[in-house]
Structures are given as C-alpha cells and as structure tokens.
Amino acid sequence: MKNGAQTQVRQCQRIRGWGFLCLLFCSALLLTIPIRVIWLQQSPSEPLQASIQRSSSRSTPLVRRGDVLDCRGRVLATSSVGRRAFIDPSLVDDPLILGAELHQAIGLSGAQVQRLLAGRLHRRYVALPNLLEPWQVQRLEGQPIAGVFLEAVPVRRYPQHLDAASLVGMVGQEHKGLAGIEYVLERDLQAHNGRLETYRDAARRPMWVPPSGFEPGMDGRDVRLSIDLVVQRYAESRLTQAIKELGAAGGRLIVINPETGAIVTVAEVQTHGPDAPTQQRLHRVRSVSDPYEPGSTFKPFVWAAATSAGLARSDEVLSTPRAVGHRTSFGRLIRDAHYYGPSTWRKVLVKSLNSGMAIVAERMSHQSMQHLVDQLGFGKISGCGLPGETAGLVTSVQDWSNYTQTSVAMGHEIAVTPVQMARAFCAFARDGSMPSVTIRDRTHDEGVVTTRIFDPAVAQLTRDIMHDVMNEGTGRRARSTHYSMFGKTGTAQMPKKEGGGYHQDRYISSFIAGAPLQEPKLVVLCVIEDPDKSKGSHYGGSTAGPVVRDLIDFTLPYLGVAPDLEPTSKGTTNVASVGRARGANSPSREPGH
C-alpha cells in the first residue's frame, strides 16, 4: 500500500512537471501571436500593402486650375475638362481586333494602337495620346469597345493662341506650370486635389467612406495680370513688322504704367527660324532674362544726377570738342557721332554728346556714380514677377576705374534688362521717384513702393530736355504728331559673344520714351537687336523710335488719354502747345539758379 501511494505521488509530480513544461511552451507560442500581428502591421511587404489598399478605392475629384487673365479680365489661359480614352490591356483579347475597332470608331490607326500596346500588355492603364473630339466621345459612349474606357482629364487652353505666348508660358502633362506666368505663379494657380476613399466589397461595390476618407479639393485662384491684351497684340505685331523691315535679329518692347509700376506689355520677337507653338510658349522672357548695354539711353540718369548734385548747370558751357574727340584726364579719347564745339550741358543731352558726358562724369566721384547705379536698381532683380529674371551686369566696386566711370556715363560697361531700364526711366515720368514694377494687376497705385531718386524739379527739367531730344535732337524721327513725348535714343555696339570687345558694325539700337509730357501715362522702351545697316539707319532714333511712337499713338487713345498736340495743316507739331508746356517748366526752376 505504501509503495502504491509513493508511486502515485511520484506520478503526480511527474504529471505536474510535464504539465508545467507544456504550459510554458504553449504560453511562449501564444505570446508570439501578437508579436506576429504587430510585425505584419509595422512592416508589411509590398504585396501585402497593395492587398490592404485593394479593399478601398481612391479617386481624385477633378479640380480646376486658376485662369490667367489680362488687366481687363480677358482670358489668357483657362482650364476645362476634356475626355480621353484609355485601354485596359488585361481585358483585350486580341490587340489586332482592338486596333480595327478603334479605327472604325474614332479613326485611330491600327498601327498606332499596336505601338501603344507594345510592351505594355501587362499593364492595366494605357492612355491614348490625344484628347477626344466630341464626335469620338459620342461614338465610344454609343458603342463601347471591350477594354476601352473614357476618363475625364483637365485640359489647359490658351484662347488667345500665340498672343503673349512666351509671357503666359504653359503647363506640362501633370497640369503644372513649366514656363512663363504658369510657372512663376504656380502657387496661386494650382488647384489642390481632393481625395475620396471608398471601401468596397470583394465585388467592388462601394460600401462606405471612412471618416477621414473625404478631403474636398480646392480650385486654383484666378490671376489677373497687368498685361493689356489689346496693347500686347498691337505691340507684338508692330514689333514684328519693324524687325522684318529692319532685317533685325530680334526685338523687345516693354510698356510700363509709371503711376502704378504695372507692366502693360512685354512683347518679344526673335527671327531665328519659325517656332512651333509649344516651343514659343517655352521661350524665356528675354525682357527680364537677357541684359543689354543701354548706350545713350542711360545718359539722362547721369545728366540728372550730376545736375542734382550741382556738378553742372544746364546752361553751363562745356569744352566739348569741335572735331577728333575729347581726351579725358586719364588719356582716354572720347568720340562723338557729330561735333558741335563747346556746348551747354543741356545740349550735351539733346545731342547725346559722349564728350560732354565724359567731362561731367569726371567731376562725379566713383561712389556717387555707383550709388546712382545702385539706386536705379541696376545689378539687382526688379522683382516684377516674370520668370527667369536676372540682375544684369554692373562692374564691381573693386574693379570700378576712371575708364568705367566715363563708360557708364555713356551707357557702356553696364548691362541692364529692359524691365530695369523702363522702371528706372519711370523716375522721369513721375516726380523723380521710381516705382516698384509688377506683372500682377495693379489698377490703382495700391501696393506700389517708390524710391526717391531725383529731386522733382530735376526730374521735370530732365523730362523737358528729353522733350527737346524729340524736337531738336536724336529723337526727331520718333516724334508723335498727337502726343508730346520725352525720350532718349541709344545705339550701342554689340558685344562679341566670344568676348574680346565689340562688333564694329553690329548694334543694339534702342529708344525709350514717355508720354504725354505733362502727365506721363506710359513709359515705352524698344530694343532692336542687330538691325541690318544696309536697309537704312541703325540708330535708335530711326529704328526703335518709330515703334515707340506708334505704340504711344495707339495706346494712349486706347487708354482714353486725349492728344495734347494739335496737328498743323502740314502735319507738324503745334509748337504753341508744347511751348506752353515748356513755359510751365522754365529753366529758372533748375536747382542752382
């Protein structure tokens, strides 16, 4: 009995031992289960992730990119919804038959279909390259083809075709700006896609939208530009005509409203070969990206600065040469196009005398010339909002020499962009202050930031003298019979691309002007690149000048500005009206008198 009891006790102990071991083992196995679940959740394999997403479908409700409008609300770029067909190759039994069906339905050639499907038969989505015409949509909806589906896609349209093409730019496949305003104002224009997630059962029937499954999309904002399409169109056609007549390589034309700093027109023409529309839209805006040497159009700034500083009076007679040229204190020979002998400081600007500019430039310190260049915004981007803007080229303070000092006074050894130039010129059209410029609509002067450059009286005086440029000086051929203009011509030799100086017979001719004289509403700059000398003059006054004049004559009436000149019977300017204008700004108001 005792042995039996002992055996039973031993057996009980053995059972407990095995039981404990088994339970420990089972517990360990059970504990691996949550770990495995966490592992699956935290690091799911790619196919598992795809499998999780398969139970829901995500769609992106169509949203609309903002329109680009001109200053009067005319549509330059807009978005609409187009229809496109796509093929699901997994549902296509025979690509050859599909090709025949598509050919019959929408006119797509069988070969095109084969090319599309080549190497893509394993995919689920192969889009046809072009948007469908309404009749094609109608046919596909009327007689569906197995494996071919229709989808709605956003389409960017440019109703003005090639007007302001390089300015407006274009969007890419994904409806994102690639060039021009489309690129620069992407943040404003872009629409924010929404999201709709729907859980579906195994038969793909929609069941419900989870709480965080719907995010509404947001349309992009419309952007109104300062560009006026009517002026833009005229500018482009007039510039194209001029470039053709002059046999020039290209031209740029910019119009700014000096009151608001709004850029009214940026027209650009290049003649190296015809461009496809897409390429034209991808062009850079050269009025902000490509600097040029302004030549004599720069002289009014130096003239006004020197006068303002009391370094020369307008009636001061300078020892400008009768012939040969003027030799500066450091031995540089400065030549003029024409020699008039000793001339007044006023005449120096009217006749665009390099020698006179050099004489006065030598009276200025380097610092004051550098300060002037800096104040006028040269060497810095204007921030107008056009894409690809560059700062231009200004000699650094360390490299600034006497040579630079006299060169800059004549508009050489400095490269500026047309936008910089036109903006700086606005100082004369205003009261000596320079406005900030913008491509965004700025109907009134709200948001305009001004920088005082010249004393108002000096600005007025310089403007009057530039009016004389139109009547007595280099701008005679650009004179308008309707509006009193003030302007300055510029003819600079073209720098060699490969470096090492200038071409002797190739020029960049420009003309910058404002009008009307008393209350300027426009500043217009035209730059003609490399005009053909054999077709006439290459001077700014006779190449770019007429373009500027025509633009002023076209734009001011369009803007409702009445002509301030009465044409005489011979078609010349009514001097009396100009005389009244000049009388109001008599030289006695000049500082220093």
Partner 1 sequence: MTTRPADRYLQCMRPRALLLVIVTAMLALGIVAVQSAGMVVPRSASFSELLTSRTTQLGLAAVIAFLIARRIPPRWTTNQWVARGAMVIAGILLLLVFVPGIGREVNGARRWIEIGPLGFQPSEVAKWAAVLWVAAWGGQRGAKLGTFWKGLAPALLIVGIASGLVLLEDLGTALLIGAVAAILLLAAGARLWHLILIGLPALGVVTAAIISTPYRLTRLRAFLDPWADPSGDGYHVVQSMTALAGGGIGGRGLGNGVQKFGYLPEDTTDFIFSVICEEFGVLGGIVVVSLLLALAWTGWAIIQRQSAPHRQLLAMGIILTVTLQAIMNLMVVTAMAPTKGIALPLISSGGTGWIMTAFMIGLLASLDNDRNSSLDCAPRTMPQAAT
Closest distance of CB 25 from partner 1, Å? 9
Closer Cβ to partner 1, 81 or 207, answer by number: 207
List 2, 45, 129, 398, residue binding partner 1 (CB under 8 A): 45
Stretch that binds partner 1, among 27-35, 98-106, 258-266, 414-422 (CB under 8 A): 27-35
Min. distance of Cβ 186 from partner 1 in angstroms?
Answer: 36
146 sits near partner 1 (criterion: CB under 8 A): no
Using rule CB under 8 A, residue 59 touches partner 1: no
Phi, psi of 127 (to 5 degrees): -85, 145
Measured CA angle at 225 (ends 234, 181), to 5 deg: 95
Cα–Cα distance for residue pair 292/490, rounded to 1 Å: 11
Answer yes or no whether residue 36 interacts with partner 1 by CB under 8 A. Answer: yes
Nearest approach, Cβ of residue 43 and partner 1 (Å): 9
Distance, in Å, from the CA atom of 341 to the CA atom of 41, rounded to the nearest integer, reads 92
We find the least distance from the C-beta atom of residue 40 to partner 1, in angstroms, to be 4
* Closest distance of CB 14 from partner 1, Å: 6
- Contacts of residue 397, Cβ cutoff 8 Å, sequence gap at least 6: 370
Question: Cβ closer to partner 1: 210 or 341?
Answer: 210
Taken in order 111, 112, 117, 119, the sign of the CA dihedral is: positive
Among 1, 2, 33, 500, indicate the residue that binds partner 1 (CB under 8 A): 33
For residues 319 and 329, give the distance between their C-alpha atoms in angstroms, rounded to a whole number.
Answer: 13
Stretch that binds partner 1, among 24-32, 133-141, 349-357, 460-468 (CB under 8 A): 24-32
- Per-residue exposure over 368-380, b if at least 16 CB sit within 10 Å of its own CB, e if not: ebbebbebbbbbe
19 part of the interface to partner 1, by CB under 8 A: yes
30 contacts partner 1 (rule: CB under 8 A): yes
C-beta of 14 vs 115, nearer to partner 1: 14
Pick between residue 12 and residue 118 the one whose CB is nearest to partner 1.
12
In this structure, which amino acid lies at residue 479?
R
Distance spanning both ends of the chain, measured CA to CA = 144
- By CB under 8 A, tell whether 1 contacts partner 1: no
Query: For the window 200-229, what string marks contact with partner 1 as x by the rule CB under 8 A?
Result: -xxx---x--x-------------------
Q: Which is nearer to partner 1, 49 or 114 (CB)?
A: 49
Give the H or E element holding residue 515.
strand 502-515
* Cβ 192 vs Cβ 218: under 8 Å: yes
Q: Which of 16, 157, 327, 371 binds partner 1 (CB under 8 A)?
A: 16
CB of 160 vs partner 1, minimal distance in Å = 50
Task: Return the H-helix or E-strand segment holding 463.
Answer: helix 456-471
CB atoms under 10 Å from CB of 57, counted, come to 13
Q: Is 34 in the site for partner 1 (CB under 8 A)?
A: yes
What 3-state class would DSSP assign to 56? strand
By the rule CB under 8 A, 29 interacts with partner 1: yes
Residue 276 binding partner 1, by CB under 8 A: no
Which of these ranges, 18-26, 75-83, 306-314, 408-416, lies near partner 1 under the rule CB under 8 A?
18-26
Interacting residues with partner 1 between 283 and 312 (CB under 8 A): none
| Binds partner 1 (CB under 8 A): choice among 23, 100, 337, 575 | 23
Query: Tell me, what amino acid is at 115?
Result: R
Contact flag: residue 15 with partner 1 (CB under 8 A)? yes
Query: Is there binding between residue 18 and partner 1 (CB under 8 A)?
Result: yes
Helical axes 229-246 vs 540-558, angle rounded to 10°: 160
Whole-number Å distance between alpha carbons of 61 and 63: 6
**Is residue 499 close enough to count as binding partner 1 by CB under 8 A?**
no
In Å, how far are 147, 235, 441 from 70, measured between CA atoms?
Answer: 44, 15, 8
**Of residues 210 and 536, the one with the C-beta less far from partner 1:** 210
Indicate whether 32 belongs to the interface with partner 1 (CB under 8 A): yes
449 near partner 1 (CB under 8 A): no
Compute the least distance from the CB of residue 193 to partner 1, in Å. 24
- Interface with partner 1 (CB under 8 A), residue total 41
Regarding 81 and contact with partner 1 (CB under 8 A), the answer is no
Asked if 91 is part of the footprint of partner 1 (rule: CB under 8 A), the reply reads no
Distance, in Å, from the CA atom of 533 to the CA atom of 549, rounded to the nearest integer, reads 21
State in angstroms the smallest separation of the CB of 39 from partner 1.
9
Three-state secondary structure call for residue 330? coil
Nearer to partner 1 by Cβ, of 27 and 173: the residue is 27
Rounded Cα distance, 374 and 394, in Å: 9
CB-wise, 38 or 121, nearer to partner 1?
38
Residue 25 or 330 having the CB closest to partner 1:
25
Cβ neighbours of 472 (radius 10 Å)? 13
DSSP conformation class of 166: H
Q: What are the b/e assignments for 68-90, b being 16+ CB within 10 Å? A: bbbbeebebbbbeebbbbbbebe
Q: What's the rounded Cα separation, in Å, for the pair 528 and 510?
A: 6
Instruction: Tell me if 60 contacts partner 1 by CB under 8 A.
Output: no
Which of 183-197 are b and which e, b meaning 16 or more Cβ less than 10 Å from the residue's Cβ? bbbbeebbbeeeeeb
Q: Binding of partner 1 at residue 125 (CB under 8 A)?
A: no
3-state SS class at 524: strand
14 binds partner 1 (CB under 8 A): yes
Q: Which stretch binds partner 1 (CB under 8 A): 28-36, 153-161, 341-349, 458-466?
A: 28-36
Residue by residue, DSSP assigns 261-279 as: TEEEEEEEEE-SS---HHH
Binding footprint of partner 1 on the chain (CB under 8 A): 7-8, 11-12, 14-20, 22-23, 26-27, 29-34, 36-38, 40-41, 44-45, 47-48, 51-52, 54-56, 199, 201-203, 207, 210
